[in-house]
């Protein structure tokens, strides 16, 4: 009978300890330790209220704050300390309510049960600490530091222009080609975004002022060979292979810098930043999030073994999505551009927070290996705040493809006119006075970024549920 009463007392003590693990201070209050119990309960209430506010109403502000390596390191330490504090509460609660005079088996059972409770409390906090550490590693690896953060990251401008690149490398071709090139012109006040897409096969591309223009006064000609005829998608690798085209710029930065200035000159917009993803990394990102759901209008041959991506709404794996975006079997480059744009939009809109957290490790690894950008760490909080506006604002798209633009003999002035209409920016002086070669955007485009946007009927609205094909 004594053993039965001892077991009952032990089970009751363990039950009360579990309750105290969920409601801090409960065991202390029942044991007469009112001051300690009230303090623990108040601390838990404040903690829950703070975390709830951070996850809901204050979420954008909190995300902006933790997008700094120092804050992420602090968050990792805080998560570990929280887990240790929680485990301490569990142990101290059990010591207050455990039955006196427990024998060897009962003592061992009680300690084992309390150990399981402590582990259950520590695991989520340690996981949170790991997420913070991995996030810090991604920020410091992918994003460069440029000193102290500015109080006004946009420097008084109403628009920030980001060049988005998709790079592809073939086994039998050295280097990489930027087969996907778009500029996101974002209104920093409203989040309204216009996406300007340029085809990879634009020819005779005017080069920006400086060594590159002196080398190609009549437009980019590449190496002048059949395999390198001088298309827009070759500018990136050509700059990397020819240091004289961008004096003083280190390897790995020459391609992005020259391409930013080249595309900025074509559009008449200054390009503030670039972000590039290797297509292999894009496939890994899709796999890490469990695939992407799109609507395929027509069957598309898949792979070299006779496979087919069937028409219909389906979830594509990374490899299938990559083939879906690359395939030219059912159309030309311009059909493919449309599919790529729709695919990117679907990936962005379907990335829910739970999926991102669950797959964070794999996403972080893919980001470090396959994504490059010159967006500085100091601007990340501002971009995170801006991203919420972008999500709630319309996304509009303008594609400079035939019949609007002849890729073999592009009308550069017409391109700038369409950009001005869609983005609501004034035409550069060079375009107003003549329909000719665009100049270096460093001077002519700087005023455009400071001009408020105006919605234009020339653009194409992108629906979250748009079909892809």
Higher per-residue confidence, 145 vs 29: 29
Same domain, 132 and 222: no
| CATH number of 401's domain | 3.40.630.190
- Residue that terminates a domain, selected from 142, 174, 200: 142
Helix (H) or strand (E) holding 346: helix 333-350
Q: Which residues pair with 308 in a beta bridge?
A: 301
The answer for residues whose C-beta is within 8 angstroms of residue 236's C-beta and 6 or more apart is 165, 167, 176, 177, 178, 255, 256, 258, 259
The predicted pLDDT at position 142 comes to 87
- d(CA 319, CA 315) in angstroms, rounded, equals 12
Do 455 and 319 fall within a single domain?
yes
Residues in contact with 23: Cβ distance below 8 Å, sequence separation at least 6, in sequence order: 41, 44
Same domain for 173 and 38? no
291-343 pLDDT, tens per residue? 888 888 888 877 666 678 888 888 888 888 888 877 766 566 677 777 777 77
Same domain, yes or no, for 320 and 364? Answer: yes
Whether residues 165 and 124 share a domain: the answer is no
Asked if 204 and 124 sit in the same domain, the reply is: no
Residues 247, 134, single domain; the answer is: no
Using 50, 70 and 90 to split pLDDT, how confident is the model at 457? very low
Mean pLDDT computed over 361-381: 86
Per-position b or e across 408-436, b if 16+ CB within 10 A of its CB: eebebbebbbbbbbbbbbebbebbeeeee
Identify whether residues 180 and 298 lie together within a single domain: yes
246 part of a folded domain = yes
Domain boundary among 112, 142, 172: 142
CA dist list (Å): 468 to 82, 344, 351, 370, 439 = 46, 10, 18, 25, 36
Tokens standing for residue 160: 């920030």
Question: Within a domain: residue 296?
Answer: yes
Same domain, 266 and 210: yes
Domain ranges, residue 173: 159-461
- In sign, the C-alpha dihedral spanning 151, 153, 155, 156 is negative
Residue 150 within a domain: no
Q: Specify if 153 maps to a domain.
A: no
The verdict on residue 22 lying in a domain is yes
> Does the pLDDT value for residue 103 go beyond 90?
no
What pLDDT does 411 receive?
Answer: 94
Pair 284, 375 in one domain = yes
Q: What is the DSSP letter of 99?
A: P
Q: Which of 142, 170, 197 is the last residue of a domain?
A: 142
Cβ atoms within 10 Å, residue 197: 19
Is residue 233's pLDDT more than 70? yes
Number of domains in the chain: 2
Place of tokens 């897409």: 197
Instruction: Judge if 300 and 163 occupy the same domain.
Output: yes
Instruction: Give φ, ψ of 421 to 5 degrees.
Output: -65, -45
Q: Is residue 292 part of a domain?
A: yes
- Residue 466 belongs to some domain of the structure: no
Q: How does strand 159-168 pair with strand 273-278? A: parallel
149 domain residue, yes or no: no
Domain co-membership, 298 together with 439 = yes
């Amino acid at each position: 009978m004594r053993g039965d009463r001892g077991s009952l007392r032990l089970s009751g003590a363990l039950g009360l300890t579990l309750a105290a693990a969920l409601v801090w201070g409960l065991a202390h209050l029942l044991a007469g330790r009112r001051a300690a119990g009230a303090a623990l309960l108040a601390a838990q209430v404040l903690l829950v209220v703070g975390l709830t506010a951070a996850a809901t109403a204050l979420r954008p502000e909190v995300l902006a704050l933790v997008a700094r390596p120092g804050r992420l390191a602090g968050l990792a330490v805080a998560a570990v300390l929280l887990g240790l504090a929680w485990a301490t509460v569990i142990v101290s609660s059990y010591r207050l309510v455990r039955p006196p005079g427990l024998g060897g088996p009962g003592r061992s059972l009680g300690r084992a049960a309390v150990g399981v409770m402590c582990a259950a409390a520590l695991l989520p906090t340690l996981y949170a600490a790991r997420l913070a550490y991995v996030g810090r590693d991604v920020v410091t690896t992918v994003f460069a530091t440029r000193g102290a953060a500015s109080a006004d990251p946009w420097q008084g401008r109403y628009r920030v222009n980001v060049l988005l690149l998709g790079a592809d490398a073939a086994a039998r071709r050295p280097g990489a080609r930027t087969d996907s090139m778009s500029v996101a012109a974002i209104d920093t006040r409203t989040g309204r975004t216009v996406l300007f897409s340029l085809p990879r096969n634009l020819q005779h591309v005017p080069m920006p002022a400086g060594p590159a223009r002196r080398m190609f006064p009549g437009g980019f000609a590449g190496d002048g060979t059949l395999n390198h005829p001088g298309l827009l998608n070759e500018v990136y690798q050509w700059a990397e292979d020819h240091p004289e085209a961008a004096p003083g710029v280190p390897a790995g930065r020459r391609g992005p810098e020259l391409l930013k200035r080249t595309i900025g000159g074509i559009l008449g917009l200054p390009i503030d930043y670039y972000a590039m993803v290797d297509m292999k990394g894009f496939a890994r990102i899709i796999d890490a999030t469990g695939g992407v759901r799109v609507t395929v209008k027509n069957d598309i041959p898949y792979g070299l073994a006779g496979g087919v991506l069937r028409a219909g709404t389906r979830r594509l794996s990374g490899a299938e999505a990559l083939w879906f975006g690359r395939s030219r079997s059912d159309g030309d480059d311009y059909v493919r551009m449309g599919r790529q744009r729709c695919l990117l939009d679907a990936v962005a809109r379907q990335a829910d927070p739970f999926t991102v957290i669950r797959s964070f490790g794999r996403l972080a690894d893919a980001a470090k290996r396959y994504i490059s950008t010159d967006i500085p760490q100091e601007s990340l909080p501002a971009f995170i705040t801006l991203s919420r506006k972008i999500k709630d604002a319309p996304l509009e798209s303008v594609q400079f493809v035939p019949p609007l633009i002849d890729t073999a003999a592009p009308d550069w002035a017409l391109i700038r006119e369409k950009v001005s209409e869609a983005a609501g920016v004034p035409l550069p002086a060079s375009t107003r006075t003549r329909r000719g070669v665009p100049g270096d955007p460093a001077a002519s485009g700087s005023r455009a970024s400071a001009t408020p946007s105006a919605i234009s009927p020339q653009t194409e609205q992108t629906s979250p549920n748009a079909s892809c094909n």
